[in-house]
A and B are shown apart, each in its own frame.
Chain A
Amino acid sequence: MTFLSPLLIWGALLGAIPIIIHLLNRRRFRRVEWAPMKYLKLTVQRNRRRIQLEELLLLLLRVALPVLLFLALARPVLSPTGLERWVGGGGRSSEVVLIDDSLSMGYAGEDGPAFQKALQVAGALLGATPARDRCTVATASSPNAPVIHDVEASRREELAAAVSGVTQSATHAAWPAVLAGVDDVLKSCTYPTRRLTIVTDLRRAGWDADVAEMARRWADEEVVVRVVDVGSEATSNVAIESLVPLERTILAGAPSAWEAVIRNDSPRALAGAKAVLRVDDKPTEVTLPEIRPGETVRAPLSVAFAGAGPREFSLQLADDELPADSRRWAAVAVKDSLLIRLVDGEPSTEPFASEVDFLAAPLSIGVGAAEAWRVEVLTDHDDFASPRLETPDVLVLANVAAPTPEQADRLRRLVREGMGLMIFPGARTDLGLYNDLFFAADAPLLPFPFKATSDQAFRGLAIEPARPSPLERLLELKASAFERVPVRWIATVDEAAGISGDKADDVRTLARWNDPDRSPAVAERVVGDGRVLLWTTTADRAGNDWPVEPSFVMAIREAVKGASRATSAANTVTAGEPIRRVVHSSHEVTGAQLTPPEGGEPVSLPAVPQPDDPTDAEGPSARIDVADTRRAGAYRLSWEEGPLGTREDVFAANPDPRESRLERIAPGEVRKLMAPLDVDVVEARGVESLGPVGREIWRDLAAALLVLLVAEAAFAAWASRSR
């Protein structure tokens, strides 16, 4: 038992007052000369024991009143261990200190970052733990892997070093999961009396009703839990919530469009603020749009990577109270060019007489400094879907008469895996067969089934205002650029069939003809990771004159970029999420090494060979796992691949945006969430103010005092009656 106001315990000495009064009363008596002494003595003898007992009880009651009063005022804190020690002089306990190292703990209030305060508090708590107890230090980002576990409290230096070695992470503290992780630690503690102290900043993010499950169990197991609040009441913050590419493909040398979502939760407007964009470690300054207080804006960015391969870049705002969420990273596998395979269903040796000449022409010009495209032309006599061929980023079927079912299956699989497919019908196209092969009920590729062909002449088409869309850049052109296009032949489609069924959401029309029925001109279906674009006219001038229009050049370039295999976003994770790199290689993968962010020491990692999978066309593989990604930044992974030499990949771990919401949770709400566990939530204004762990019992003492007051009055009246 310990006291929060220990000086007041001296007041319990006032319990001596009734004894003093009792003794004084024995000196202040009436003297009576008495004759029938014999009968008086006889009576006193008969009643002596009862009288003495009553007097003793009354005296004890009166002594207990001031003692209880000052005990209650001294605010005693009772813990099972404390009581054992008090009563029996012996219990030992396991003290677990859980330090919240989540991103929000980096918030610097008036008296410094909460995380630094948390370390001080943890150090002080462990320093004050009785030497015979055992201590464990764990962090919220890795609760089931303690920094130091079940160490005797007498090893103070070791414990202090462990606490000072704890670094802050950029993770989110989801308390139900954190408490479940700590539960494993608590179970493995030596002594059955367990006390858990959570040192946190009490931000609402992460606290929810699911913590009650663990709290109930701990209440049953009599685990003593206390929460020490080291957080600031301030919530002012400016954060980058996300950094996303607006294009499917990032090409080396070509500017790629990105979007940074920035939220201003500070009371001041951000006007003319600058951010630093670092691409390949080259910083450039970016001017941000004005962001008013409480506003979230999407700031456009243009990022160009000098070379292909694994690349990363970051955007960093000026430091604020919580600098950790002012920077975000993106790791991308930049391609040097896209492989476009054009399958010509009506080849010709004459210039612009074959079906794909008008498609190849727009793709012959690069994008910015990038070569951008590698165009490969096959005829429909070739096996354009052969697995022996390099998988293209986009496959274009132009007036291909009749693909085989095998080719259709292969295309279906490639599209699901991310390949783009563009289909242009023509006079040779067997529309019925296409419907059969590519509009199967279970796995359709076509957005709509073909219905018929129409050779009724009309002019023009209109781009649908869909965003994002592979053709959305065409909306920047004047509508007249499309209205003059003469059209002589189109394949009509059954829109109703396309937009029914469970895959209707994957289908949309991107452009429509100006015919009376406003037939779809370009339609899109999303299939797995890939996209299929159906053009309902020919790719040459046989059916229309669009291929000779400048807008067609732009349309094809944008469509190819929009439909091509997407650059993987798998290398960008949120801090705390594990990274797994599967290396497909026929050579042995060795020497895997991870360089953590900000110049950390490289760490060797095992490359675990994966079991052979006959269905995997990419051959044998090995897996490299990076478990600890709690710090935000770029993680560079390298490995040896036999004669191929050193290979490298880069990953980015970003601050968890949930931690940027700094709304506080009230201590009472935490207690309510943790019910029926009686959680003591204390505020750590200074390390010295920390009280001991346990349950305050002044309310119980006050109730006992009230009962004793009534009992004393009643007993005194009863004892002083004439008997």
Chain B
Amino acid sequence: MPPPRPYSDPDAVARISDLALRSRRLVEGAISGLHRSPFHGFNVEFAEYREYTPGEDLRRLDWRVFARSDRHYIKQYEEESNVRATFLVDASASMNYKGDRAALSKFDYASTLVVALSMLLTRQQDPVGLVLFDEKATTNVPPRATQAQVQLLAGMLQACRPGRKTELGGLLRSLGDQFRRRNMIVIVSDLLTDLDSLYQGLDRLRFGGHEVLLMQVLDRDELDLPFDGPTLFADMEGDEELFAEPRAFQRSYRAAMDDFLAEVRKASGSRGYDHVRFLTDEPLADALSRFLHARLESGRVDRRR
């Protein structure tokens, strides 16, 4: 029986209004079994044994200790990393969307993810920075590997009120020029922006040797358009309004969104970047855990190369 995971319930997580606390609970409760950084460094050293928790990867079990003591221990390593991770968090108006099925808005969901990951990284002494952007970068916190940095990031994210348009492509191009050292750039956005411009920005980062991770946060409403009856759609990043009966074109819309996601995934893959999609009605812990495992797997593959 897997242990109860109270923080996997999105409603329960959402009830914690403090972002830092919410993220810590998430990190401690939901992903405590993980001991490896999702961001792969260059040196790995043994750190300690830890008792096996059901649900963890059996491959990490130390079979020799088990043979000797008949007890289950997990071998924990510490990665020595010098990854500088900079989170680019979309603070445009579109990130404010929160559907009926979601407990958090896209921005809140993204913020929780970012702070949780920052906590993980700073534990490993990896510096983390933050760029909040809409049409341009509104906040830029350079990477540091301190606990105070995490508190700073959490405070800034909590204080942020998204409200303008997204212009991610231009931002990426300018950041590519600014970052002198090699960076792990984590873009947390709904990617509802001009895709051509986005791809140009990604190409610029790639040219600069930066590693990019695209974490696309969407509400499930935005995928399946669940509305019925006459509906007036108002553009969250503009003045445009559209009156429609959504049932008449739901399937077409879903197909359009599928095409959009597939295109983004394809564009990311072709540039060697990871693209991970998060839906705000999914349990945060599950989503984060799945993401971290995926990262670990991809890291193993990278090392084999």
**Taking the complex as formed, is B250 at the interface, i.e. its CB lies under 8 A from any CB of chain A?**
yes
Contact yes or no, B234 A32, CB < 8 A: yes
List A residues 51-95 near B (Cβ within 8 Å).
51, 54-55
- Cβ contact within 8 Å between B248 and A54: yes
What are the residues of chain B within 8 A of A43 when measuring CB–CB? 249, 252-253, 256
A-B CB contacts (within 8 Å), total count = 99
Q: Which of A702-723 contact B (CB under 8 A)?
A: 719-723
Contacts of B233 in A (CB 8 A): 32, 34, 37, 40
Which of B93, B231, B243, B257 is within 8 Å of A39, CB to CB?
Answer: B257
Given A29-B231, A40-B253, A47-B252, A35–B242 Cβ distance below 8 Å? Answer: no
Interface positions of A from 6 to 42, Cβ below 8 Å from B: 25-26, 28-42
Residue A187 at the B interface, CB < 8 A? no
Q: Is the interface of A mostly helix, strand, loop or mixed?
A: helix
In the complex, which of the residues A38, A40, A720 has the most CB atoms of chain B within 10 Å of its own CB atom?
A40
Best-buried of A25, A33, A43 by chain B (most CB within 10 Å):
A43
| Chain B contact residues, majority secondary structure | mixed
Contact code string A108-130 (vs B, CB < 8 Å = 1, else 0):
00000000000000000000000
Q: Are A37 and B235 in contact (CB under 8 A)?
A: yes
Given A38-B192, A723-B248, CB of A32 within 8 Å of CB of B227: yes
A-facing mask of B214-255, CB < 8 A → 1, else 0?
000001001001010111111111101011110111111100
Q: Are A33 and B256 in contact (CB under 8 A)?
A: no
A388 adjacent to chain B (CB < 8 Å)? no
Q: Is A478 an interface residue (CB 8 A)?
A: no
- A39 partner residues in chain B, CB cutoff 8 A: 253, 256-257, 260
The total of chain B residues at the interface (CB under 8 A) is: 37
B190 on interface, CB distance cutoff 8 Å: yes
Are A31 and B252 in touch, CB under 8 angstroms?
A: no
Residue on A nearest B250 in the bound complex, by CB: A722
- Flag whether B94 is at the interface (Cβ < 8 A): yes
Q: Which residues of B contact A42 (CB under 8 A)?
A: 256
Q: Which of A26, A51, A719 is B230 in contact with, Cβ under 8 Å? A: A26
Size category of the binding interface on chain A:
20 to 34
CA distance A574 to B251 in the complex (A): 88
User: Cβ of B97 and Cβ of A35 under 8 Å apart?
Assistant: yes
Question: Within the assembled complex, what's the spacing in Å between the Cα atoms of A32 and B97?
Answer: 10
Determine the chain A residues whose CB is within 8 A of the CB of B192 once the complex forms: 35-36, 38
Q: Which residues of A668-723 have CB atoms within 8 Å of chain B's CB atoms?
A: 719-723
Q: How far is the CA of A522 from the CA of B237 in the complex (A)?
A: 134
Say if the beta carbon of A381 comes within 8 Å of chain B.
Answer: no
Contacts of A38 in B (CB 8 A): 192
Q: Which of B95, B225, B249 has the most CB of A within 10 A?
A: B249
B227 lies within 8 A of A47 (CB): no
Distance, CA A346 to CA B267, complexed state (A): 153
CB nearest neighbor in B for A28: B230
User: Are the C-beta atoms of B229 and A30 separated by less than 8 Å?
Assistant: yes
The distance from the CB of B247 to the nearest CB of chain A, in whole angstroms, is 5
Residues of B within 8 A of A25 (CB): 230
Instruction: Contact check, A33 vs B97: say whether CB atoms are below 8 A apart.
Output: yes
List 5 interface pairs A-B (beta carbons < 8 Å), by A numbering.
Answer: A25-B230, A35-B97, A35-B106, A37-B235, A51-B244
Further contacts, 4 of them, CB under 8 A, given A34-B234, A34-B242, A39-B256: A30-B227, A32-B232, A35-B94, A719-B248
Top-9 shortest CB links A-B:
A35-B94, A29-B230, A34-B233, A37-B235, A43-B253, A47-B249, A39-B256, A43-B252, A722-B250
Q: Write the residues of chain B forming the contact surface with A, with a CB cutoff of 8 angstroms.
A: 93-97, 106, 190, 192, 219, 222, 225, 227, 229-238, 240, 242-245, 247-253, 256-257, 260
